[in-house]
Amino acid sequence: MYKIDSSCISCGACASVCPVEAISEGDAQYVIDEKCIDCGSCAATCPVGAISPE
């Protein structure tokens, strides 16, 4: 599963590319839930590199 760290700028780019809609806007930043299928689309799209495998 992937995780989003505190460098997230809440741009939403990751959510729009997730094929299983596992990413949503959290209180302080976007979050990835258990629906994540480890495809890596979000990490490749993040403009600030805030997403990585756990």
Residue 17: predicted pLDDT: 98
* Residue whose C-alpha is closest to residue 39's, from 14, 5, 8: 14
Residue 26: predicted pLDDT: 95
Contact between 35 and 22 (Cβ < 8 Å): yes
Q: What is the pLDDT of residues 38-54, one digit of tens each?
A: 999 999 999 999 999 99
Q: Which domains does the chain have, with CATH numbers?
A: 2-53 (3.30.70.20)
Within the chain, where are the H helices? 13-17, 41-45
Q: What is the pLDDT of residues 3-50, one digit of tens each?
A: 999 999 999 999 999 999 999 999 999 999 999 999 999 999 999 999
Residue 7: predicted pLDDT: 98
Residue 8: predicted pLDDT: 98
Question: Which residues, 6 or more positions from 9, have their beta carbon under 8 angstroms from its beta carbon?
Answer: 47, 48, 50
Contact between 52 and 6 (Cβ < 8 Å): no
Residue 25: predicted pLDDT: 96
